[in-house]
Amino acid sequence: MKFRGKIIDIACLNHFTRVITTISKLTKMCVLRLTPDNLFFVLSGKVANGGVSMWCELSQANFFDEYQMEGVSSEDNEICLEVTPENLSRALKTVQSAKSVKVKLTKKHCPCLTIAAELPTLSSVSRVVTHDVPVDVIPRRLWHEFKEPSMPDFDVSIYLPPLKIMKNVVDRMKNLSNFLVIEANLNGEMNLKIETDLVSVTTHFKDLGNPPWGDDASQGGGPSQSRDPEAMAEAKVDIRKLQQFLMGQQVNPSKAMCNIVHQRVVHLILLHEDVSLQYFIPAVA
């Protein structure tokens, strides 16, 4: 098993750091899957993390100037590592002005992702700063737990309002309730609602638009055309999990979407050129 990559472009380094920082806000631990073409950050929906799951996909060619990896075997040309994204984010944040950054899988006192940055210097002597981020190698027999989640057979798919506005709304609602109902329809309308014994608050968004797959019949995983465009699909979720997702956003997505499986799951998708992030929040009864 071997992995080494090198980032020279400072814009790529900054972008890569923002992605890792976003992930670190969503989970304390996750799995990094390395393949010849992609890097995946995966959190599988275990009860231990409240059933939340995450799938973040990056194309290595859009970040790394050099990228070499040899997997477990020629048939299984992958490497799976358990990482603490916060540690990775901290290491990368300290080397933002570097001339180049190398990331390498090494064996120190334990397996590590070693980040070695060549810093700018006024003299001819190069300065290299090294960070060792401990990782755990995940055995082949457990890889099946970290495959891409299938697209749920959703009832409604809708574009999200600007994430900053949505975050401000959710932050205020969190002071009033632990749970929030997200509801949306195929008419581009979305509501965020909380209801307690003392208060009922609803924020309405309209003209958001619905992603094109919503126009297909349901064989594509999308809602069928027979669904009443005004009919709301809803899911009640833990407001902290939604807030966590909105707080961590540093990716500045070009598209942000929400799929709702009525009373079962909220599936959030962020797309930005070379990065896609999916986040699944289970509904509560």
Per-residue pLDDT tens digits for 227-245: 899 999 999 999 999 998 9
Beta bridge partners of 32: 41, 81
What is the torsional sign of CA 16, 84, 147, 182?
Answer: negative
Using an 8 Å Cβ cutoff, are 222 and 156 in contact? Answer: no
pLDDT tier at 217 (50, 70, 90 boundaries)?
very low
pLDDT of residue 66: 96
Best CA proximity match to 258, nearest among 157, 155, 154: 157
What is the model's pLDDT at position 45? 72
Is the pLDDT score of 216 beyond 60?
Answer: no
Residue 271 exposed, middle or buried by CB count within 10 Å (0-12, 13-18, 19+): middle
Average pLDDT, the chain: 90
| Cα 156 to Cα 49: distance, rounded to the nearest angstrom | 26
Please give the single-letter amino acid code of residue 64: F
Domains along the sequence of the chain with CATH: 2-145 (3.70.10.10), 156-214+228-282 (3.70.10.10)
Residue 34 and residue 81 in contact, taking contact as beta carbons nearer than 8 Å: yes
Place of tokens 């069928």: 224
What pLDDT, on the 0 to 100 scale, is given for residue 121?
A: 83
Place of tokens 């929030």: 180
Question: Alpha-carbon distance 282 to 39, whole Å?
Answer: 25
What is the pLDDT averaged over residues 11-22?
A: 92
Phi, psi of 269 (to 5 degrees): -130, 130
Give 76-131 pLDDT, tens digit per residue. 899 999 999 999 999 999 998 899 999 999 998 899 999 999 988 888 788 999 99
Q: Are 245 and 279 in contact (CB under 8 A)?
A: yes
pLDDT tens-digit profile of 39-87?
999 998 765 556 889 999 999 999 999 999 999 888 889 999 999 999 9
Strand 38-43 to 200-205 pairing: unpaired
| pLDDT at residue 214 greater than cutoff 50 | no
The share of the chain scoring above pLDDT 90, in percent, equals 74
The token duo for 161 is 């309002």
Residue 255 has pLDDT above 70, yes or no: yes
pLDDT higher than 60, residue 224: no
What are phi and psi for residue 205, nearest 5 degrees?
-125, 140
> What per-residue confidence (pLDDT) applies to 171?
94
182 forms beta bridges with: 192, 235
Half-sphere exposure of residue 57, counting CA atoms within 13 Å on the CB side?
Answer: 14
CA distance 184 to 190: 4
Mean of pLDDT values over 154-168: 94
Higher per-residue pLDDT: 241 or 272 = 241
Element containing residue 241 per DSSP (H, E)? helix 239-247
- Determine contact, residues 136/84, Cβ cutoff 8 Å: no
**What are 133-145's pLDDT values in tens digits?**
999 999 999 998 8
**Strands 265-272 and 38-43, bridge-based pairing:** unpaired
Nearest to 239 by CA among 283, 184, 191: 283
Q: How far apart are CA 136 and CA 258, in angstroms?
A: 33
Q: Where is average pLDDT lowest: 20-29, 41-50, 55-64, 162-171? A: 41-50
